[in-house]
Amino acid sequence: MLGQTLTLMLDDMPPGKYFPILELFPEKSIPEYPIIGRAEEVREQLGIQSCLDLSRRWIEKCREEHPECEAEHSDELPTRVLDLGDCHGPVNLRLHEPTPGEGAKYVALSYCWGKTGNLTTTKATISDRKRGISWDLLPNSFRDAVTITRGLGMRYLWIDALCIVQDDKSDWEREALKMGQVYENAFLTIATDAAKDPTRGILRSRSTDLVSAFIEEDRPTRNSKVMAFTLLDSQADVHNIRVREPLDHHDLVMPRSAYEITYPLMARGWTLQERLLSRRTLHFTESEFVWECKTTLFCECGCISRDFIGLDGNHSPKVGFERAMKEISIESASRLDQAMAQYPRTKAITMAWTLLIGGYSTRQLTYSSDKLPAISGMARKFSRMNNSPEQRTYLAGLWLEDLPWLLCWRAFQFRSDELTTVSSAPTWSWASLDTPVIWDHDMFEARSQVEVVSTYTSPHRQDFLGQVKSGKIVLKGRVQKATLKFDVSHSTVLGLQNILGERISFVPDCNTVSPLSDGDNKGRSDMLQLGAFSLTDGDEVSCLWVLHNIENDGLWGLVLASSPDKSISRSASGCTVSDSTVFERIGIITHMSYKYQEDEVSSIHWFNGSKEKIITIIVR
């Protein structure tokens, strides 16, 4: 059976030696030895004909067996596409602006821009691009994408660098919000996973040399030796058995953070929705090329569907995403007509969104202002998933329908002590930080302790799924005054202390603790820099109790500081409340006191003496 190869791990190695895993497979199936299943040998050079032949087989199989990959899409062409000319004639490349409603199959390219080698359309060059684009100007990946698209019988190709006017701000903002739909409606997406820029190309030599020697390093390096041996069956037939190190599929299969991913494309922010929304994708990796659609994965070596299933039981994050979307679509909507529920009304949607954003927040963006636009295609998909004719209400990365739970995100950093804020997003949103964020799983079983009084956002452009220029959320709940406690000797935040002297865990929306000198440079103290706020040990903040989990006494609340420039903030956000109720978020408090720990104080006790207030959180 294809993909059912035999894998061996060599142990009993000398200290310091690498323990390789070897994969054994025959050229043809051997009925007498079913334990050694067949696999395909991956050639060092990916030729155009072998690429097209395998792609056609995968496309045919998908179209015949996967109706979900054909459903819910439009054949209408994007605002601009590259017209590649008649597939049976010479390449005649030009930028084409379709008439409204003009439809045809097209391919979209997903790639890393990199620092050099890109070819773009600008206001100065758009007229020339419409007349024609010289083949010699195209970087290698663009050329190969053109060749593959034409070879598969399609005339149109979408590449963002050429189909969006890069120095026209209004054109870029308008088209950026359509990117999700571009990939969703494309017949096929070509993804250059292993290339850091478009100069590297797709149809090139690949790293398929196999490790066959013990390497005195922490990790193996590739060399030129390929091992093989022969096996005789009972009929004296000779079978050639190949031996190789298994090809690595983890980046494609496992829902890993961008810090663990080796493929450059999968570490970029924009490419998450490009992958998840595409109906069909050809992934070109370092060692082979891989098919991915809404239903399954296939690869050249034939082993990806056998060996690699993610922790969620799915063959890839995309397949898992599609299954989750299907489950959500049939979720009961019995509570959707309530003004605000104590528990998440659409728990499956909320959890799916937080998992999506958690992974997205680890990815890299060249411009922090792209935080919301780069996920707008996914937001559009989620906005229609409430089993109701009405769309869900989007609030700069959060959803009104389950706002209390979504407000309780927390910063979760991996590689830098410096967490920077994003001025184009409100402080209540995860998009206000350039850092990974997470939601605690236990909070989805918690009860809301706040009432959402009102919300408001003003989009930067007409689309409510992109950047916002102003906004506010008004919440009613119990507010506790607290003071910030530092460990001065180690420059770390210990937590918050209430009026009774009890402390609770505080996770700031950054952890930049640095020395602060006074005006006369006579003394120094520790400072916590949170956006526009410089806080020192003993400074007063306000804590809004948001969620409580009865089962484990879990508590989550927002830590707020009075807006430093209330007049400007109120004017920009349309606020009409008194100064004392205008805040910006600076962090979150969390606490759990399990019942078997009898000596611990209940988390509810920490809010003794608090007062119910109506507070407004605004855009910075």
Whether 241 and 355 share a structural domain: no
Summarize pLDDT for 378-417 with one digit per residue, the tens. Answer: 998 888 776 555 678 899 999 998 999 999 999 886 444 4
Residue 334 falls within a domain, yes or no? no
- Position 88: which residue type? H
Domain count for the chain: 3
408/293 same-domain check? no
Q: Do residues 236 and 363 both lie within one domain?
A: no
Q: What is the DSSP string of 69-99?
A: GTSS---B--S-EEE---TTS----EEE-PP
425-462 tens-digit pLDDT: 888 999 988 889 999 988 888 999 999 999 988 887 76
For residue 371, being part of any structural domain is answered with yes
Look at residue 349 in the predicted model and tell me its pLDDT. Answer: 80
Query: 310 and 412, same structural domain?
Result: no
User: Domain check: are 215 and 254 in the same one?
Assistant: no
Question: Which of 147, 173, 155, 182 lies closest to 73, judged by CA?
Answer: 182
Among 452, 438, 439, which residue's Cα sits nearest to residue 549? 439
- Are residues 126 and 259 located together in one domain of the fold? yes
Q: Which residue, 599, 495, 504, 603, is CA-closest to 552?
A: 603
Domain that holds residue 585: 341-618
Residue among 557, 332, 526, 276 nearest 443 (CA) = 557
Is 412 within the bounds of a domain? yes
Residue 481 lies in a domain: yes
Its sign, for the CA torsion 31, 32, 38, 41, is negative
In whole angstroms, what separates CA 161 from the centre of its chain?
Answer: 21
Which positions ≥6 away from 314 have C-beta within 8 Å? 320, 323
Q: Which residues contact 100 (CB under 8 A, 6 or more apart)?
A: none
Residue 113 C-alpha from the chain's centroid: 18
**Do residue 88 and residue 138 come from a single domain?**
yes
Successive 10-residue mean pLDDT values, the chain, 620 residues: 52 54 67 62 78 94 90 88 92 95 96 92 97 96 97 97 96 92 96 93 70 37 49 65 68 60 87 94 89 86 58 61 68 36 61 89 89 92 68 89 93 57 77 90 89 87 77 92 74 76 84 49 53 74 92 89 55 41 88 57 79 81
The closest alpha carbon to 583, from 513, 538, 530, belongs to 530
Given 325, 358, 391, which residue is the final one in a domain? 325
Domain boundary among 279, 296, 325: 325
Domain for residue 265, yes or no? yes
Domain end position, chosen among 246, 275, 298: 246
In sequence order, what are the beta bridge partners of 282?
190, 291
- Same domain, yes or no, for 398 and 497? yes
> Is 335 a member of any domain?
no
**pTM of the prediction?**
0.81
Tokens 């109506």 belong to 614
Q: Let me know: does 452 contact 473? Beta carbons within 8 Å.
A: yes
The whole-angstrom separation of Cα 530 and Cα 435 is: 13
Q: 544 and 498, same structural domain?
A: yes
Give the burial string for 576-602 (b: 16+ CB within 10 Å, else e): eeeeebbbbbbbbbbbbbeeeeeeeee
16 plus 94 within the same structural domain: no
Same domain, 348 and 392: yes
Among 466, 467, 440, 469, which Cα is nearest to 549's? 440
Could you tell me if 61 and 7 lie in one domain?
no
Q: What pLDDT is recorded for position 577?
A: 40
Taking CA atoms, 57 is separated from 52, 152, 193, 249, 298, in Å, by 9, 11, 21, 21, 11
For residue 369, the model assigns a pLDDT of: 85
As a whole number of angstroms, the distance between CA 355 and CA 257 comes to 11
